[in-house]
Amino acid sequence: MKKNNKNSVGEKFNQLVKIMAQLRGENGCPWDREQTHKSLRQYLLEETFEVLESIDQETWQELKEELGDLLLQIVFHAQIARENKEFTIEEVIDAIIDKLIRRHPHVFGNVEIKTAQEQSIHWEKLKMNEGKSSVLDGVPKALSALLRAERIQQKAASVGFDWPKIEPVWDKIQEEIEELKQASRENNETKIEEEFGDLLFSLVNVSRFLGVNAEDALRLTTEKFIKRFNKLEDILKANNKDIHEVSLDEMDRL
């Protein structure tokens, strides 16, 4: 890891901001100049997922690079906002500094908070004081369904709307499975979709009680399936067999 002098972070960040301004300038890059907040949405999402993939794979040098790409997206949006007279990168930084200090009075003030649970409750109270009309406000609809369900459940739990222990959650899952089976027997497509959603929501709930992130767990399981399937393909190729012509029983034996 390279050593940097104490003043280099701010200087390097300013350099990045200036480079982006130049890319968007009159003699800059045609592609960069054409971009808008909306046109960049897909790149922001892609860079975020690439950061997550680097973390999952524990490839820290790649994480360094991907965090840089993500930072670029932030600076890109801030430059567009400056040009549109919406806000500046300085205001972005000021806003997050103010928010961190305001929402951590136990660190920067005189409030005493001893546990992470107390902090979560206090956090939600502060956000309500900041103008939120509902405890559930602030969870983006653009989140994946699993992640959004988890965040909604966490917020509801922060004000005591939660099962007292995990046992009733297991019972709820069994109940939802039976209701899904019944809807399937009735061949009621609308009811099947509804009951399947209820089951997924309950599974997210149990993941929360177990301290497992449902989104991460599903992503890792999907990657595990891909690796196993790729291994099966390699075995079939080594035996000069076409995967499209092999029976399921033969695949299982391999």
Say if CB 63 and CB 53 are below 8 A apart: no
pTM score over 0.85? no
Reported as a pLDDT band with limits 50, 70 and 90, residue 128 is: low
Return the CATH number at 60. 1.10.287.1080
- Spatial neighbors of 85 by CB under 8 A, at least 6 apart, are none
Boundary of a domain, candidates 102, 117, 148: 102
Note the pLDDT of residue 124.
Answer: 66
- Spatial neighbors of 235 by CB under 8 A, at least 6 apart, are 254
Residue 10 has φ and ψ, to the nearest 5°, of -65, -40
pLDDT digits (tens, 9 = 90+) for 21-69: 999 999 999 999 999 999 999 999 899 989 988 998 899 999 999 999 9
Q: What is the mean pLDDT of the chain?
A: 90
Reported as a pLDDT band with limits 50, 70 and 90, residue 115 is: confident
Q: Is residue 24 part of a domain?
A: yes
Q: Is residue 135 part of a domain?
A: no
Boundary of a domain, candidates 83, 102, 121: 102
Range among 105-109, 190-194, 243-247 rated most confident:
190-194
Note the pLDDT of residue 17.
Answer: 97
Q: Is residue 196 part of a domain?
A: no
Say if CB 217 and CB 207 are below 8 A apart: yes
Q: Is residue 211 part of a domain?
A: no
Say if CB 123 and CB 103 are below 8 A apart: yes
Q: Is residue 58 part of a domain?
A: yes
How many domains does the structure of the chain reveal?
Answer: 2
pLDDT digits (tens, 9 = 90+) for 184-224: 999 999 999 999 999 999 999 999 999 999 998 999 999 99
Q: Is residue 71 part of a domain?
A: yes
Q: Which domain holds residue 236?
A: 217-253
Note the pLDDT of residue 43.
Answer: 95
Boundary of a domain, candidates 55, 74, 102: 102
Secondary structure of the chain as H, E, C letters: CCCCCCCHHHHHHHHHHHHHHHHCCCCCCHHHHHCCCCCCHHHHHHHHHHHHHHHHHCCHHHHHHHHHHHHHHHHHHHHHHHHCCCCCHHHHHHHHHHHHHHCCHHHHCCCCCCCHHHHHHHHHHHHHHCCCCCCCCCCCCCCCHHHHHHHHHHHHHCCCCCCCCCHHHHHHHHHHHHHHHHHHHCCCHHHHHHHHHHHHHHHHHHHHHHCCCHHHHHHHHHHHHHHHHHHHHHHHHHCCCCHHHCCHHHHHHC
Q: Is residue 42 part of a domain?
A: yes
Say if CB 77 and CB 41 are below 8 A apart: no
Q: Is residue 118 part of a domain?
A: no
